[in-house]
């Protein structure tokens, strides 16, 4: 019984983590807080994210203007950058 409760607790926390990531994922190249596009920089993902949800195809972005951090799908490209994206390098 205690084991079942523990398993449920772990699954519920993991679902919570995935939900948090999903809630912090934007879908365009713009800061969700201040809506600027010119101040975004890509950072390496936080350690907890690498360990718990490293399989998700997300990049971690910080807005240098308002310090907001959020996630973006790898398919969303920086429209201001001339460097090729990961997918283009892999091809």
Residues that bind Zn ion (CB under 5 A): 31, 33-34, 63, 65-66, 68
**CB of 31 vs Zn ion, minimal distance in Å:** 3
Residues present in the chain in total? 91
- Distance in angstroms (rounded) separating the CA atoms of residues 51 and 47: 6
**CB of 59 vs Zn ion, minimal distance in Å:** 16
Instruction: Name which of 68 and 71 has its Cβ closer to Zn ion.
Output: 68
**CB of 67 vs Zn ion, minimal distance in Å:** 8
- Distance in angstroms (rounded) separating the CA atoms of residues 28 and 43: 17
13, 59 Cβ separation under 8 angstroms: no
């Amino acid at each position: 019984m205690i084991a079942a409760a523990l398993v449920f607790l772990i699954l519920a926390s993991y679902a919570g983590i995935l939900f948090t990531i999903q809630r912090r994922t934007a879908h365009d190249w713009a800061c969700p807080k201040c809506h600027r596009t010119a101040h975004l920089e890509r950072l390496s993902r936080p350690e907890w994210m690498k360990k718990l949800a490293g399989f998700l195809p997300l990049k971690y972005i910080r807005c240098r203007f308002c310090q907001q951090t959020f996630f973006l799908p790898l398919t969303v490209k920086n429209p201001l950058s001339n460097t090729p994206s990961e997918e283009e390098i892999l091809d």
